[in-house]
Structure formats: C-alpha cells, structure tokens
A and B are shown apart, each in its own frame.
Chain A
Amino acid sequence: MTTIQHPLEDATRSGMIPHIWCNGCGNGVILGEFLRALDEMNYDVNKIVVVSGIGCIGRISGYTNTDSFHTTHGRALALAVGLKAANPSLKPVVISGDGDLFAIGGNHFIHAARRNVDIAVICSNNFNYGMTGGQSGPTTPPGAYTTTTLYGNIEHPLNLVQFAAACGAVYVARWTAIHVRRIRESIKKAINKKGFSFVEIITACPEEYGRRNKIPDPIQNMKWLRDVSIVESRMDPKDAVIEPDKIVVGEFVDIEKPEYTDLLLGKAESIRSRLEKEGKLSNVTL
C-alpha cells in the first residue's frame, strides 16, 4: 500500500494534526492559506514566529511547523513586540481572533499599530467567542443572537479595518473564508510588508454563531459569505461595512511609514556613534 503525503505535511507540526476546529470552520482555511503562502513565497521560515492568543484560532500556533508561542488571552501582540525588539531579524506573525485582539487585547493592538512594529496580524473574525460557548464580542453584529445576547445584540460593533487603519497600520485588508486565493496573496503582502499589517478574515462559525443566527449549515454559511461579499479595494475603510446583506472586502490600506525597530536601532546607532566621537563609548556591550 502506498501512502500519499499531504503537500503541507512538512509545514505542519508532526503529531498535532488533526486540529480541534469544527466542520465548516473558517480557521482551517486560514491555516491552509498561511502555510501555502509561506510555501510559495520562499520566505526563510526559521525567521517566522507564529504568536497566538486564546480561543479557537489561538491553537494555530501549535499546528504550524515554525517557532511559535501560544500566549495568554489578548497578549499575543505584546509578546510579539518583545520578540521583535530583542531580535529584529524575526518576523512575528500574530494569528488570533476578534475577541482576543480587540476586546481583551485591544490596548496592545492600538499601540503595536501606532508604533508600526513589523508584525503581520491575521485576525479570524467569527463574530463571537466560539470556543467558550458563543458569547457576544466586539464584532457581534447588531441584532445577532449569541448566548449572552439572547434577545438580540444591542451593541455597536467595531469595524476592524477602520480601527486598524486609524491606529496606523500600513497594510489593511479584509476577506472572507471563501476568498482563499485572495487570503493567500494578502498574507504574502502582510509578511513581506515592513511594518504593522492587518488582514481580517471573516470566518464562518457554523457551530456557535451560525446555529443561533439561521446559518447553521457549513455550506449554507459559506454560500452566505459568497453572496454578500463585495470587493471594493481602496475604499475608505470607514465605509467598508459588515451588514447582513453586504460585507465589503478588499485591500483598504497599503502605505509606507518608518518601522519601529528600524527607528529603535537607528537611534541607538546614532547615540553610540556620537559617544564614540566624544571618546565616551563604553567598553561594555551587551
């Protein structure tokens, strides 16, 4: 009998597959496209560090055959900033959920983006806390039913691409789990971009979100994403709405801006060369 190896077998961590995700969950698409992107772009994978937080998608750092860190809830970006500052040759890729990155971790998102730290952020937005029973979160749409909005959500959701752009991200895109090739291309751009880049992926969550909002079937869920998505690249991200019958997807920001660790090292270099000219450079180096 011959065994056929999956083309991405070597890109995953041996012994960790099968993953924990439900049938029809979009997180598998993110894992697959992230690994295919790495495979196609010939990036030095030894320099990639996948950092994740808590939640369904948080388990992704265990599945990729990379250096990886599964942090506490919301803290992936803060840990990634420390990694990057200590060794700027590393490229942290933070892959986490909407609740992790924008509720408990919202403060770290603001400041990592504001500083323009060279980190690629991939956010799986499933409109709820899927792992813990389907509670509402910062992206739950108005009127949606979750285990903590049993009478319909009364809150205004955060538009993640608008927020990321406002915080200073240099690359911002949104796709849904059906846009597999576009996800792959955006992940490549995010990894190659020097600076804070953000890719939002609307992931179907049939089991928790879908079941309570009349889209419980995975195929039906994917068809819904296909039917309501409109590609509007270069649109002002504040107008990139997520509504029941319309999800605007595309690339919204792609700009250049000095990157944090470049500035950090550049500043340190200028300090040391000034001290050297003045004959005051310490013989101690770390």
Chain B
Amino acid sequence: MSRRLPEVGGVFLQMEDEIASMAAIIGASYAGVKSMTATSGPGFSLMQENIGLAAMTETPCVVVDVMRAGPSTGQPTKTGQQDVMQAKWGSHGDYEIIALAPSSVQEMFDLTLEAFNLSETYRCPVFVMSDEIIGHLMERLTIPKPEDLQLVNRKRPTSPPKEYQPFRADDTLVPEMATFGEGYRFYATGLTHDETGHPQTDSAEHHASLVKRLCDKIRNNVDKISRVQRVSLDDADVCVVAYGSVARSALSAVAEGRAKGIKIGLLRLISIWPFPDDIVEEVAEQVDRILVPEMNYGQLVREVERNAGRRKVKSIPRLGDALHTPEEILAEVSG
C-alpha cells in the first residue's frame, strides 16, 4: 500500500504504534476519507482501546487482522484463528462490530471492499479477520474494472450546519455524517452523548438509549449483513461449520467424505460477527451432528452450540503451525 496509494491519490502513513494507527484512521475518517489499517494479533490488542472509540463515535473504518498464534508474542508468522472472540469483545463496554473472514486471496480483495461498504453503511468499525495462511497465500486474483465496483458512501447531512445533529438517527439507527472542515462545527466524544453530541455523563436514559442504538443498528440487520456459503447441505447428516483458511480444508473433507458415501456438508461462515444465529439454527435443525474445526482451542464453536439446540456439536481445535487436514475433520464424523 505504501507503493500503491501515492500513485492513485491516496495517503499511506506508518504510525509509531498500533494505538496511533487506530487513532489516525478515526481522524482520517472524520476528515472525510475512507481509511483502514492492518495488523496481526499483538497490534490488534493495542488497537482495542480506539476500536471502542470508533464504535462510540460511529466512525466508518476498516481493520485487517491477519491472525497468528497467541497469546502475547506467541509464534510470529505462524497461523491461528485465535482473535475471533477478541474481534467481538476486545474493547470494554457494549458495542457491536462487523467481522468478515476471507478464505482466499480473491476474498481478501472482495471482502476488504465489502468491509468498507459495510462500515460506510452502518458507521462502525469492520474487521477483515484473515489468518497467516491466507495472508501468505499466492493464487489467482481478478480485480474488477473500477466502473464495475459497487461502492457505498456514508449518508451525508441533509440539514444545514446550524440544524445538524451529528448523532440523531432515523429508523435505520445510523446518523448522517458531516465532515470536519465543512462548516458543520460538530463535536465527537468518547463520552456518552446525546443526539447533539453533547456529553451526558449522568443520565441513565441517555446512556441506555445510545448504547442500545449502537448495538441495534447492527443487530437489527444481521440478515442483511450475514454472508455464508452452503455446500452439499441439502441431504447432509453432518455439517462442518468453518471459516477462513480452515474452510478450505473443510471443503476437501466434504468432497472426500461424499466420495466415501458420507452425507456431509459445509456451512462456510463468510461473516462471523454479528454471528449468523438464524442461519446456523436453521442448518442445525436439518443435521444430526455439527463439526467445528478452528485453529484455536475452541472459540466460535460456542456460538454454534448456542444455536444448535440438541444437536451434537464437536469442537475440533487445532493449535500449532498448520491447518487441519481433511482426514482430521473426517475422523470426527462418527463417535
């Protein structure tokens, strides 16, 4: 990006640390541009403070986390999917974000674009939760022509500066967003605030209504935000729920299983937050057994269990520098 952005009128900054990177993209977004940063687990931890600020100030922005093995410095450049719960719960307080999980180089491109569109639509941080395997993968990529791209821009103010209320929302619960420097002279704060942006640090009602709106603008749209891929699920007895690079192995497991006559299918989660509860619940009702391979010690499996009713859910954790093999997944089909 440091090579490409200056060539096309963009700006690339290398900040002093990831705390600063996250702060800088919030500032840039309020200055009216689309902004993003990219990191790995340790940097993602440092960003959590200002991810909360971005959620509170409803800042459209994108963060790419190429997950590696933690905790702490862990195993640099070794793969993992250990930040998926942190993506949802990493900063303090109640808030909702959106997180996407690419499984290919093509999806790194497509979902980064999608992440910008979602962040502009819902005015929240959107994460691209990649992992080391996808991050280092080399494969075919098709970049669409600029005119074929579907780009979404934030809603702009419809009222004149004197009447503009920066945090007043309509039925969508997403406020219109002015840009600094245009004469709106508005105020953003990480404090609990009312529709005018003024701090309301003592009012329980203001706090409840703000926090509910920050969450509900996402929760009310789970069906619009959710993206999944269904493979061979129509007659499946066993469903593998997977995301990111692990989904590639799961896809092979399904092909190999089907060749052996096993009725196995794949539900690939392309969006992981907000968790697609209804979709997982609907799939769970059709199968006997659900397998959840993840490159962690069992994280998103808890969300699957929450939606699985009485179906058996089997976590297949894998720690260390490799994907599950398809055989490792197939080995859990029975038993």
Binding site for B on A (CB under 8 A): 13, 15-16, 45-47, 49, 51, 59, 61-62, 65-72, 75, 78-87, 89-90, 107-108, 110-111, 264, 267-268, 271-272, 275, 281-286
Closest A residue to B197 using CB positions: A62
Stretch at the interface among B3-11, B76-84, B251-259: B3-11
Hey, which chain A residues are within 8 Å of B191, CB to CB?
70
**Known contacts A71-B190, A271-B7; A108/B20 CB under 8 A:** yes
Hey, which chain A residues are within 8 Å of B181, CB to CB?
46-47, 49, 67, 87, 89-90
Of the candidates A82, A90, A285, the one whose C-beta lies within 8 Å of that of B25 is A82
Contact B196 A82 (CB under 8 A): no
Of the candidates A78, A90, A271, the one whose C-beta lies within 8 Å of that of B20 is A78
**Known contacts A46-B182, A67-B184; A85/B28 CB under 8 A:** yes
State how many angstroms separate the Cβ of B194 from the closest Cβ of chain A. Answer: 10
Count of A-B contacts judged by CB separation below 8 Å: 153
Contact B24 A78 (CB under 8 A): yes
A110 CA to B181 CA in the complex, in Å? 26
State how many angstroms separate the Cβ of B103 from the closest Cβ of chain A. Answer: 26
Closest A residue to B149 using CB positions: A284
Question: What are 15 A-B pairs at a CB distance below 8 A?
Answer: A13-B185, A13-B198, A66-B185, A70-B187, A70-B188, A79-B24, A79-B26, A79-B27, A82-B23, A86-B29, A86-B32, A87-B31, A90-B180, A107-B20, A108-B23
A70 CA to B53 CA in the complex, in Å? 10
Contact B183 A46 (CB under 8 A): yes
Closest B residue to A117 using CB positions: B13
Contact A271 B6 (CB under 8 A): yes
Of the candidates A69, A78, A284, the one whose C-beta lies within 8 Å of that of B188 is A69
State how many angstroms separate the Cβ of A192 from the closest Cβ of chain B. Answer: 18
Of the candidates B16, B50, B190, B199, the one whose C-beta lies within 8 Å of that of A111 is B16
Hey, which chain A residues are within 8 Å of B184, CB to CB?
67
Hey, which chain B residues are within 8 Å of A275, CB to CB?
7
Hey, which chain A residues are within 8 Å of B25, CB to CB?
82
Contact A267 B23 (CB under 8 A): no
Cβ of B222 < 8 Å from any Cβ of A? no
**Known contacts A69-B30, A72-B49, A87-B31; A282/B8 CB under 8 A:** yes
Contact A72 B23 (CB under 8 A): yes
A46 CA to B28 CA in the complex, in Å? 17
Cβ of B186 < 8 Å from any Cβ of A? yes
Hey, which chain B residues are within 8 Å of A272, CB to CB?
6-7, 9
**Known contacts A67-B180, A282-B8, A286-B10; A13/B28 CB under 8 A:** no
**Known contacts A46-B182, A69-B30, A81-B20; A286/B9 CB under 8 A:** yes
A87 CA to B191 CA in the complex, in Å? 25
